[in-house]
Every structure is written in C-alpha cells, then in structure tokens.
Chain A
Amino acid sequence: MSSILPPSRLWWKEPIAKTEWLWIGIAFVWGMIMFVMMIYWHIYGKQNLSNEAYKTSPEMFAAKAEKFIAENTIRTETDMDIPVVKVPPGGDGYLIARLWNWYPILELEKGQEYKIHLSSMDYNHGFSLQPVNINIQVIPGYEHVVKMTPTSTGTFAIVCNEYCGIGHHTMLGRIYVK
C-alpha cells in the first residue's frame, strides 16, 4: 500500500523479505560492536575521560589553586606576570578557567602522570588543548580531576571553546611540556 494510504490491518502478518532481515541483522550487529567498543576502550584503551569530580564553589576552588600556585611557581611570564607553575610529577595541578583567561601556566614533564583539577569561576568554559586536540567541558561549581600524561614535548595552547562572552576569543592559555 502507498505510504500515504491506510493499509489494511493485514500488514502486521505480512512476511519480511530476506534482504530486509539481513540488513536489520547487520545494523544490529554493528550497533553491538560500537557499544562493546566503548567498554573495550575503558578496559584496554589509554584515553578515557576521568570520572572523578566534586561539587565545589568558585571560592573553594580558587583557594586551593592559589595555594598550589604559591607553592610551585617557578617564574612569571608576559607583562601580566602570569605565574608559570611546575606541577610535581605524579602530583596535582590546578587550572582556573575564568573570564577571560586560563590561570596559571602549567609546566609538565613528558611521560609523567598528572592530576589536573579543572573548574570555572563564572560561566561554562571549554578546555581545548591544541594542537593535541583534547576537549573537555569546564563547568562552574564542579571540580573535575583529569589524569593526563603528556606524550609529546613543546608549547601547547589551551583554547576556550565554550562561548563565554565578548572576550571569548582572547581566552588563550598555555601548557609547557619538557
């Protein structure tokens, strides 16, 4: 029956052609493969986003970050004196997202694992590490603890890729990997 005319109720009894069954089977199996693939990657893959997150407040997070910066700053950069902070290998680093900068500059070592704490002081921000291309949402009121191990050295940019107002495009941060 045409798609725009009512079929008689016999449609429910009508047999399904073999090719249609075959395609349904293929689609089902492919779906299962894709489903299992995500679980497989959690077990064997090396790029899984951390589940560790805490409720926080801008004041609490800023206090922790300031303590970390005070203890680990090795120098300052640019005429704005942005602190460059060496994160202890295997230790915790704090990165503040706020209108419109990433604070402070972090210095990491290749091959070491770090726990990077991310949170926002105001709006949503987007942690976009370039040119590696890792993108993580940063939300006010939530402290996200991401374990990351740099596999390359050099100077990396943190682009903000969640719209956060008129100065959004100036919100560029930096990570050094030695």
Chain B
Amino acid sequence: MATTYRTCPSSGLQFEAHAEKLMRWNAVVAVLWLLVGGITAIGVIMTRWPAFKLLPPDQFYTILTAHGIDMLILWILFFEMAVLYFASSTLLRCRLAAPKVAWTGFWLMVVGGIMTNVAIFQGESSVMFTSYVPMQAAPHFYLGLILTAVGALLGCTVFFGTLVVAKRDKTYTGSIPMVTFGALTAAIIAVFTILSGAGILVPTFLWSVGLIKEVDAQLYRMVWWALGHSSQQINVAAHVSIWYLIPAIVIGAKPLSEKVSRGAFLLYILFLQLASAHHLLSDPGMSAEWKVLNTSYFMYFAVMASMIHGFTVPGAIEAAQRRKGFTNGLFEWLRKAPWGNPAFAGMFISLVSFGFLGGISGVVLGTEQINMLMHNTFYVPGHFHTTVVTGTTLAFMAVTYLLVPTLFRRKMIMPKLCQIQPYLFGIAMSITGLVMMGAGTLGVSRRHWDMAFSGAPFQYEWPGAAYLMMGMTGFFGVITIIGGGLWIFLVVGSLLFGEKLEAGSVSDKPTPIPAETPAAAASHHGSDHVGVPGTVVLVLALLVSFVLYYFVNWKYLSEVWLLS
C-alpha cells in the first residue's frame, strides 16, 4: 500500500501516514471514553459522599458499572493502541504492517465499546466491571467486550507485524529501543490477557443466551481475573515505557543500564500474569499453597521488577541532569528539573504516586493473610486509583502534552493551565486514593450504595473517622474530576483551536535511523557513567515506607479474631 513519511520539524519524529492516522483516531476515541468515564465518576463520587448521596441505588450501580468499563477498558485500551503504533512505526521509522487489519481492529473496538455501554445504560447489566456469575448481564454486554478484545488483539498483531517490517526493511540497526521493548512487553501480556478473557467471556456469553447451563462461580472468578488483573499489568508495562519515553524526549535521558531495565521488563512477561490470585485470596476454592505462590508472582519477582524500574527511571533522569551540570548536593538535579513542563511534571508525579501509594498498597493488599483485612473494602479501589489513575492515566495525560504538537500539529492552548493540570489532577487523585484506603482500613465496603444501611433489619454505625474519610474522598474526588476535565478541555481545545504547526517535510521513503558507529556506541556505554546518589536516597525512602507499612499491617492482622 502506498504511503508517505512525515518528519516532524520540532521533534524529529517520523510519522508514517497510516500509522499517524490510526494513532490520532485511537487517541481521540480514548479521550471521548475518558469523558464518558469522567461524567460517570461524578455520579459515583457524589453518591458515595455521605453528605450528598446523589443517585438512587439502581442508577448508582449502573453508573458504577459504566465507570469501570469505560475507564479501565475503553479509555486505556484505545490509548494503548496509539502507544503501540507509536512505539513500533514511529520509533522504528517504518511503515505500519497491515493498516487495514489495524482499522478493522479499531472499528471492532468502537462497535464493541458502544455495544457494552448500550447494554449498561439500558439498565439490565448493572453487574459491575467484574460481572461475577451467576449475576447475569444482557448478552450484548458480554458480546461488546468480546468484540473489543478481538479488536485489541488485531492491534497487537499489527504491532508485532510492524516490528518484523522494521527488521526486514532495515530501518534501524542494533536492538529495538527501550520504549519499544516496553511496548512489546505490554503487547505480549495483552495477548495472554485477551486469550484468558476469551476463555471466560465466550462461555459466559453463551450462558447468557441460554446455550450453556451454568458457569461455575469460582472458576469464573479465577479465569476472569486472569483477564481483569493482567489487563492492568498491560497498563503497567505501557506506563513504565512512557516513564522512559518522556525524560528521553524532554531532557535527553538514557537508561542507566539497558540490561537491567530490559531484564525488569522480562520479569513482567514471566511473572505478572500470576496476579489473578490477588483477587482470590479470601476465596474458598484455592489452597493456601496456591495462593502464596501465585499472589507473590512466584516469590515477588514482578515486584522486584517494579522496584528496579523505580530506581532506573529516576536514576536516568538524575544522570541526564547531572550531565547537564546540575551536580550540587544530592538533589539539585531534582530541584532544577523541568517542573514547568506538564509532560515531565505529570510523568514524575505518576512515578512517585504509583511507587509510594499504588505499589506499596498493592503488595500489602496482595499478601495472603493481610488480604482478609481489606478484601472488598474501599481499600481496593483506593489502591487501584493510585495505580491505574495516578500511574497509567496520568502518564498517558502527560505524554499527550508531547503528542498534541508532534502528532496533531497543534500548539497547546493556555500553557499556564497546562502547567497546572498535572499537579491538580495528580495530587488530588493521590490524596483521594489515600483517604479511600483509610476508609477501607476501617472496613468501609466498596461498591456499596449506603454506608448507613437504610432499610436493613439491624443497625451498624461506622466509626466517625470512616465518615470523615468518605467525605474527604468526595471532596478530593471532585477536585480530581475537575483536574481530569481540565485536561480534556485543554486537549480538545488545542485540537480544535490550537495554533497550527508546520507539518515538516514529507517523503515517500522512510529515512532510516542513522547507525551508530562502534566507537560512538562504546563511548555511550561505560565511559560516561554518572553516579546517582539522589536516586539512592529516594529509593531508600521508598523501601523504609514499604517495610514499615508492611509490618504495621501484620500487627493489625495479629489483633483480629483467631482464624485457622
């Protein structure tokens, strides 16, 4: 298929015409889903805020189901398709393999997403994101998800094909870049995830139309979570890739060690999928041995991988800043980092919030016995709002500040507001996540319409602190929604009204990435090694918080009733 290659004059990135169009469309649809998800977030947060209790229960559960599906699946998945095409076609400067397949995938995802949303808003499919059987949704709820998954699988296939094209056309020499490697990790996990999803959603769909008599409730939970949890691990691999991407573009950072960072991605591929077990720790159907081995990603190897990225990502930033001359003391490199650049600020807040809040809480929550203190409490959404939202969503928002000028060729409008947005959204979401976890620690349930239990035969009064935490969740949740709405406003505003930027030169042949001479390569590696003492201090702070919080929870556990 005939195609052209455009070299962006400001970034030097080279966009192939088909890939460019696909990236744009996927990114735009992603933003639309974020908008729908954000509107549903208002309903969720204003209902759980005890002072308001906005919606009646039926509408609340409908809206909550939509919020989960639209945010966790549709917003993130569409954006990830754009990331995959960027990391393959753009970074490797080659044509996209089989653009028609990619478009088929895109339209399947669009149709699937709309179909599932129609099912939800018709009101007969308020089964939550997890749709645990035997609670049944309308058949088109499941069918829409299946179509979306097939579409995403096609997108992954195009990504793999594009890697092959680049190799065959020799558009680069050496190994694929780190960011592409991270995207490859995400795509491999995605294939596993989608196949697991097919393994459970297809039978469940057949059950919903009456062709299968029963789907076992425990089996469903196990296989569904191989979809549900692994899909969040795709996000981790994708947003870690973006953590490497943004500092590389903004301050010219390079990985401390390619071997270490890539090794960490490899550990993700090998072990992340076991995390399905995180959701089954308080279930009857599995043995303790199974739970211990799986919940720890086979002895915490995937946690180790995340801790490694937690070192190498800020380490790469520190090394780059020190090379630029910010060498005073432990933290001059950090103080003089480009905090006014929303892409960098967003990326760094994402890193810190994911590490300190989402990461630590996730490991504690995923400890076999400690899970009993938190299973199905408000702690769980508190945890994943500091992984999927401050981690993934904020990283995606941050990289968009770079994509709008290069990919969409528009200048961002209102630069001052752009600067504020990542702080507003990132900090408000982090606080929201923290107070959600606080309420969960006190026992407050997730997915629950009324913490006052109106209409129950008995009364139970939550501690006053729980009401305070839920009130704070409401307050900071609303600020988060404002921060997210601001991002949508800025991005859509820039796409429509931003100053048009130059397209740059267009050619009908790709310009390959210049090969490194062996001498240049040698000087890149080894000889210019820079120490990263500031990063060492940061990761030690993470470790101390981690260890303390971990053992505090064992202490809590030792105080409850005896169980054996």
Contact = CB atoms under 8 A, between A and B. Distances in A.
Q: Do A and B bind each other?
A: yes
Interface of A: 1-12, 14-17, 19-20, 23-24, 26-28, 30-32, 34-35, 37-39, 41-42, 45-51, 53, 78, 80, 82, 101, 113, 118, 122-124, 126, 128-137, 139-144, 146-152, 157, 159-174
Given A3-B316, A128-B445, A137-B283, A31 B301 contact: yes
B562 A136 contact: no
Interface in B516-564: 516, 518, 521-522, 524-526, 529, 531-532, 536, 539, 543, 546-547, 550, 554, 557-558, 560-564
Contact of A157 (B304, B458, B531): B458
A38 B253 CA distance: 39
A48 B370 CA distance: 9
Nearest to B375: A135
A14 B283 CA distance: 46
Q: What are the 5 tightest A-B residue pairs by CB atom distance, in nearest-first order?
A: A31-B300, A144-B284, A157-B460, A161-B445, A53-B284
Given A2-B253, A7-B177, A151-B562, A28 B304 contact: yes
A46 B562 contact: yes
B514 to A, nearest CB: 9
A170 B57 CA distance: 11
A31 B486 CA distance: 40
Most buried by A among B178, B522, B546: B178
B456 A6 contact: no
Contacts of A31: 296, 299-301, 303-304
Residue of A3, A128, A148, A162 most packed against chain B (CB within 10 A):
A3
A132 B253 CA distance: 49
Interface stretch (B35-43, B70-78, B196-204, B446-454): B446-454
B521 A10 contact: yes
Interface of B: 57-58, 61, 91-92, 128, 132, 134-135, 172-179, 216-218, 221, 244-245, 247-249, 252-260, 280-285, 287-288, 292, 296, 299-301, 303-304, 307-308, 311-312, 315-316, 363, 367-369, 372-377, 441-443, 445-451, 453-460, 462-463, 513, 516, 518, 521-522, 524-526, 529, 531-532, 536, 539, 543, 546-547, 550, 554, 557-558, 560-564
B563 A141 contact: no
A135 B447 CA distance: 14
Given A8-B173, A20-B311, A168 B448 contact: yes
A141 B258 contact: no
A141 B217 contact: yes
Nearest to B287: A51
22 contacts: A1-B255, A3-B179, A3-B254, A4-B178, A4-B245, A6-B174, A31-B299, A35-B296, A45-B369, A45-B557, A46-B562, A47-B369, A48-B563, A49-B282, A126-B376, A128-B445, A134-B373, A135-B376, A161-B446, A163-B448, A172-B457, A173-B458
B135 A4 contact: no
Contact of B254 (A2, A10, A128, A129): A2
Given A45-B369, A123-B135, 19 more contacts: A4-B178, A6-B174, A7-B177, A7-B521, A8-B173, A10-B518, A23-B307, A23-B311, A23-B539, A30-B543, A49-B372, A135-B377, A136-B282, A142-B284, A161-B445, A162-B132, A169-B454, A172-B458, A173-B458
The winner among A26, A27, A150 for most chain B CB atoms within 10 A is A27
Contacts of B449: 168-169
A80 B457 CA distance: 8
B448 A169 contact: yes
Given A14-B258, A42-B288, A164-B135, A135 B296 contact: no
Contacts of B91: 4
Contact of A78 (B175, B287, B457): B457
Contacts of A148: 561-563
A123 B447 CA distance: 15
Contacts of B177: 1-7
A78 B308 CA distance: 57
A133 B419 CA distance: 42
A65 to B, nearest CB: 16
A126 B375 contact: yes
Given A2-B254, A124-B217, A47 B560 contact: yes
Nearest to A5: B177
Q: Which of B176, B316, B460 has the most CB of A within 10 A?
A: B460
Nearest to A141: B217
Contacts of B247: 3
A78 B455 CA distance: 13
Contacts of B457: 78, 80, 82, 101, 170, 172
B460 A8 contact: no
A9 B175 CA distance: 6
Contacts of A165: 135
Contacts of A166: 57-58, 61
B557 A47 contact: yes
Contacts of B174: 6-9, 11
Contacts of A9: 174-175
A113 to B, nearest CB: 8
Contacts of B216: 141
A80 B455 CA distance: 13
A38 B553 CA distance: 13
Most chain B C-beta atoms within 10 Å of own C-beta, residue among A32, A146, A168 = A168
